[in-house]
Amino acid sequence: MKKILFTSVFALLLGFHALAQSPAHKIVIQVNTSDTTAWHGVVRNIGNLQSALGPNTSIEVVAHGSGIGLLIGSKTTQKAKIAELAAKGVSFVACENTIRMNKIDKATLLPQSGFVPSGVAEVILKQEAGWSYLKP
């Protein structure tokens, strides 16, 4: 009996420890608009988040639907900033549903782009994993 209790409490403490080791802030940003002013806003938001929340912050930008252009070399207005932010650890992921539906050649995407099967599902999965949601 005592052993079971001890194991329970130990598991609980292990959980707290794991929590303490994870990033202090985790943010998923959804981009589903072709509005380049909004794209500029996203990049500015990320800078502000990094300044305000410090280096122990994970940020993932999910581009899907009309927002996929943010990550297409010939369409994005934020090429230099995305390269700079990605070098600092910000993730940029493109929705493979959107890519397939719009017959986009993956080679036309920025080299910093990662991929997720579904952008909208990614936004949900991140929230389920404790990430905060930002719709710019």
Footprint on this chain of a copy of itself (rule: CB under 8 A): 1-2, 4-6, 8-9, 12, 25, 27, 30, 32, 41, 45, 48-49, 51-53, 65, 97, 117-121, 123-125, 127-128, 132-136
Query: Which tokens sit at 56?
Result: 């122990």
Cβ proximity to a copy of itself: between 25 and 79 the closer is 25
Cβ proximity to a copy of itself: between 53 and 104 the closer is 53
Rg (CA), the chain: 18
Cβ proximity to a copy of itself: between 7 and 73 the closer is 7
Q: Distances from the Cα of 92 to the Cαs of 6, 14, 31, 53, 72, in angstroms?
A: 43, 31, 10, 19, 12
DSSP secondary structure code for residue 118 in this structure: -
